[in-house]
Amino acid sequence: MGAVSLPKSDGTAVKLVPSESIVDAVKEIATTHPHLVGITAVHADSNIELLYSFDNFRGELRHLRVILPDKQPSIDSISGILLGAYIYEMEVRDMFGVNFNGHPLPNTRLLLPDSYPAGAPPPLLKTVTMDQLMKLLDSVQELQPPSPAIPITGSSRYSAESVVILPFGPYHPALKEPEHFALALEGEKIVEARPRIGYVHRGIEKLAENRTFLQALFLVERVCGICSFHHSWTYTLAAEKLLGITPGARAEYLRTLVAELERIHSHSLWIGLLGYWAGFDSMFMWLWSARERIMKLLEMIAGNRVNKSYITIGGVRADVSDEKLKIVQREIEEFKKEFKKISEAVMSYEPLWERTKNIGSFTAELAISAGAVGPTLRGAGIPYDIRKIEPYGAYPDLSFEVITEKGGDVLSISAVRVKETFESIRIIEQIVEKIPSGNPVPQTFFMGTSKEGEAFARTEPPRGELYYYLRGKVGLRNPYRVKIRTPTLPNLVLAAEALKGYTLADVPLILTMIDPCFSCEDRAIVYVKGMGPLMVKLPRSVPANLSLGCPI
């Protein structure tokens, strides 16, 4: 089949590349477009199509498309050019069975559970049905706890006396979500860190392909409970682009209002947790108590505090009255005063500075290579904000600054988040002033069928760029393919690099730095088995065959 070009309105260029010259093509494109947005795979017509998307930090996207046969697909790895690519390639390998030659972690899994049989067909192939998968996995499911995946200290396998492999998680007091990290320690110092994800993998991409466009909206909203509105918004943007639906101006403003309230709640939640991990409990309690004001507003507007289900294809599900907008205005003023007081108090508190300055330091080059996004990237001085470079919703009409800080450590990222909260307050003040009249609620909810084509959308959730890709087939009630690239995935690549050289006591702070949301990245991800050496060299004293990770 020929390549399907992306809708022209995206203003994007897609280049068809033969599979053997992918490395050269990426080398060329990476000189001008160094940010790898993601690798999207689609199984269609006995082919696996790979779409590599690149950005130049100005929103001028370029795509490379490679078409592989679905029988033993194989292509060269590009992780030698862009570090962050290795995690995307592992995802594609797990979900589609594509083999990446020269990948730093060969024969390893990223996303599927321990019990997933080695020879079984990958779950996202169209030839594999959900029933088959359930039958297969039920037959191998056992309730034994996973065997210790990481070799423990004292094992005779390691002659190096100074290196200790410490398993960190999956259920660790310093992690609010189940994820596993293998830390190689030399004394207190971390020399190597490997994340192992997939505990929260729910197979959302496969589920979404089996539900209608409207049902999938409620599903993708639950990819992540903290940036839930951004997930449903990005999905809606992609679906509207695919189906050719335009929402009204008032709906765009209301969407932006809820999104910015969500950003404030997420950022204040994060700053509170920073205090918690730094041992500053009052800070945690102050911020979470101030945050309740925002949660009350969200409950008033959408009827629920966390998973708001406020957006729908073509508009929003309920209008907000003028009285309620006045309450928003009043409460946001109160919140601003409260937040100003708290943030001035905590950000001028010297012990907090000392605890966070130069912790988890990384350079802008490393952040770009890892593909980092959001406040993590802006903390290293790169003004990459989708709201500015690819405006959506009501953002073109609103004035706000893209906050950047120099430094690239826990402190600078905290400063970015504090300042962004003030910018969000400014945006909400403008929305209340400027919101146009009209009916934001569509006449009927979308129950129709799909058009042929593909569309993608990007937004800027609190954690950074979120990317959705949708493929439609004529006459289908459900999307043919939904691809989600969440911000934590590339940020985690960066965090694992940033851990190196710091002490074990810094781990909670450095992991918190990127505001990890594992439920996001696990929606389609499995689990790393037998991780081999990555782009890092272990100290000489470690035997060459040392591999951090599951020896299975």
Partner 1 sequence: MEESNSIKLIRKSPWLFHFNSGGCNGCDIEVVAALTPKYDVERLGAVLTASPKHADILVITGPVTRQTAGSLKMIYEQMADPKIAIAIGTCACSGGVFRGGYNVLGGAEKVIKNVICIPGCPPNPRQIFAALKKLYENKLEEEKDDGGSKLTKE
Binding-site sequence positions? 205, 224, 227, 484, 517, 520
Element (H, E) at 50: strand 47-55
Question: Is residue 468 at the binding interface for partner 1, with CB under 8 A as the rule?
Answer: no
Question: Is residue 168 at the binding interface for partner 1, with CB under 8 A as the rule?
Answer: no
**CA 274 to each of CA 223, 250, 367, 507, 534: distance values in angstroms, whole numbers, following the listed order:** 23, 36, 21, 12, 29
Element (H, E) at 471: strand 466-472
What b/e string do you get for 26-52 counting C-beta neighbours within 10 Å, with b at 16 or more? beebbeebbbbbbbbbbbbeeebbbbb
Smallest gap from residue 268 Cβ to partner 1 (A): 11
Nearer to partner 1, 12 or 307 (CB): 307
Question: Is residue 125 at the binding interface for partner 1, with CB under 8 A as the rule?
Answer: no
Question: Is residue 295 at the binding interface for partner 1, with CB under 8 A as the rule?
Answer: yes
Nearer to partner 1, 62 or 211 (CB): 211
Question: Alpha-carbon distance 464 to 20, whole Å?
Answer: 33
Question: How many residues form the binding site for partner 1 (CB under 8 A)?
Answer: 53
Question: Is residue 223 at the binding interface for partner 1, with CB under 8 A as the rule?
Answer: yes
Give the x/- contact pattern for partner 1 in 88-117, rule: CB under 8 A: ------------------------xxxx--
Q: How far is CA 340 from the centre of its chain?
A: 29
Question: Alpha-carbon distance 459 to 465, whole Å?
Answer: 6
CB under 8 A: which stretch of 222-230, 320-328, 336-344, 447-455 binds partner 1? 222-230
Give the x/- contact pattern for partner 1 in 144-163, rule: CB under 8 A: xxx-----------------
- Residue from 15, 27, 58, 176 in contact with partner 1 (CB under 8 A): 176
Mapped onto helix, strand or coil, the DSSP state of residue 411 is: helix
CB under 8 A: which stretch of 136-144, 369-377, 406-414, 432-440 binds partner 1? 136-144
Mapped onto helix, strand or coil, the DSSP state of residue 485 is: strand
The CA-based angle 398-399-400, given to 5 degrees, is 120
> What is the DSSP secondary structure assignment for residue 503, as one 8-state letter?
B
Question: Is residue 353 at the binding interface for partner 1, with CB under 8 A as the rule?
Answer: no
Question: Is residue 439 at the binding interface for partner 1, with CB under 8 A as the rule?
Answer: no
- Residue from 81, 300, 306, 441 in contact with partner 1 (CB under 8 A): 306
- Residue from 398, 527, 542, 548 in contact with partner 1 (CB under 8 A): 527
Please provide the DSSP assignment of 187-225 as one string.
Answer: TTEEEEEEEE--TT---HHHHHHTS-HHHHHHHHHTT-S
Rg (CA), the chain: 23
Q: Is the dihedral of CA 80, 82, 83, 86 positive or negative?
A: negative
Burial of 156 (0-12, 13-18, 19+ CB in 10 A): exposed
| Region 227-286 residues binding partner 1, contact defined as CB under 8 A | 228, 269, 284-285
Smallest gap from residue 142 Cβ to partner 1 (A): 8
Annotated binding site for Mg(2+): 205, 484
- Residue from 219, 301, 372, 511 in contact with partner 1 (CB under 8 A): 219
Q: Residues interacting with partner 1, by CB under 8 A?
A: 112-115, 123, 130, 133-134, 137, 141-146, 170-171, 173, 176-178, 198-204, 206-207, 210, 218-219, 222-226, 228, 269, 284-285, 288-289, 292, 295, 304-307, 517, 519, 527
